Amino acid sequence: MTGTPIPGTDAPASGFDASSDDSPRFDVLTLGETMAAFRAAAPLRLGGTLSLSVAGAESNVAIGLARLGHRVRWIGVTGADEPGELIRRTLRAEGVDLGLARIDPDAPTGLILFEARVGDISRVSYYRTGSAGSRLSPQDVSPAFADAASTPRILHVTGITAGLGTQPYAAVVAAVDAARAAGATVCLDVNHRQRVWSVESAAAALRPLLPSIDLLVASDDELGVLTDDPDPVAALLAAGVPEVVVKHGGRGATSHGGRDSVHAPARTVPVVDTVGAGDAFVAGLLSGLLDGLDVAGRLDRAVTTGAFAVATRGDWEGLPTRTELSLLDHAPGSAVR
């Protein structure tokens, strides 16, 4: 493993500080690839202006949690280039800890392109083959579990990182095993991307992780990645997953586990950009879990943070702080004074 460690940040998170006990322990650890993100308002072949930001499922979740006042660490690898510096600068500014992130001088930072095509439908293209982010390895993860004081309360992993290659998948497995051994809660968001890997490849990699998962998040069409059973939720619960949360898009979400299922309808907001909505949902869900909310409360926070993402452009830019969570309780067109 080559590269230069990135200093962490002690900057306070925005909003309510859920870690005011001064404990060195992080609330959430997540790992994955964050890319420089270019967005076009028209097809790229027509030319025109591109906006530049950053995007990555796990860092979106990390930013969402940090804005809600939680102490979050992101582990990833960026290139020794300007896009990498943009990513590091953005995450530091959002209060995400980068103490175990790494700069690889021999590989470029990955890129992602978004094209607005029809209404709120976007086309996404990845340029991440051979990227620094694809060099994430188990050695990057092991220091996060070096002792009880540094072990996170929650580990959040996704199927995107697992699909980036042999080493990133090994990093996910190592993190899940270490979190399980340390007694941390393990959350898996299936987050299947057809352009990253096939359903068959994702199934072969993710199904062996199920015995170690405490909280599973998937959309309706992703459940088939994890089981061939015609009643996938029942099969996953029977396999030992304590809680399965299913996202239904504009119809809200349902949590299955224990005796009953709990449903939360989606918040009604104008749809501006659906990219990043699932990550925002997970940030709200984990925030509610950290705050000790019941299932209904966790789902309500999750659909609320998801609605903020849907109603604003960008992967993470519109995510709320804790004091802003109640904004959607106001009537449309309200001026909050």
**At 35, phi and psi to the nearest 5?**
-120, 160
For 319, the 3-state DSSP assignment is coil
Give the active site residue among 140, 279, 300, 315: 279
Answer whether 235's CB lies under 8 Å from 244's CB.
Answer: no
The letter for the amino acid at 36 is A
3-state secondary structure of 298: helix
Cα→Cα distances 50→36, 148, 175, Å:
12, 45, 36
**48 CB contacts (<8 Å, ≥6 apart)?**
40, 41, 42
Sole residue written with tokens 């980036």? 164
Within the chain, where are the H helices?
57-67, 82-93, 138-141, 159-162, 166-182, 199-206, 223-226, 232-238, 277-290, 295-310
Compute the distance between CA of residue 222 and CA of residue 310 in angstroms, rounded to an integer: 20
Tokens 């200093």 map to which residue? 7
C-alpha dihedral (186, 275, 291, 146), degrees to nearest 10: 40
279 is catalytic: yes
Q: Residue 152 in 3-state DSSP?
A: coil
Please identify every residue annotated as catalytic: 279
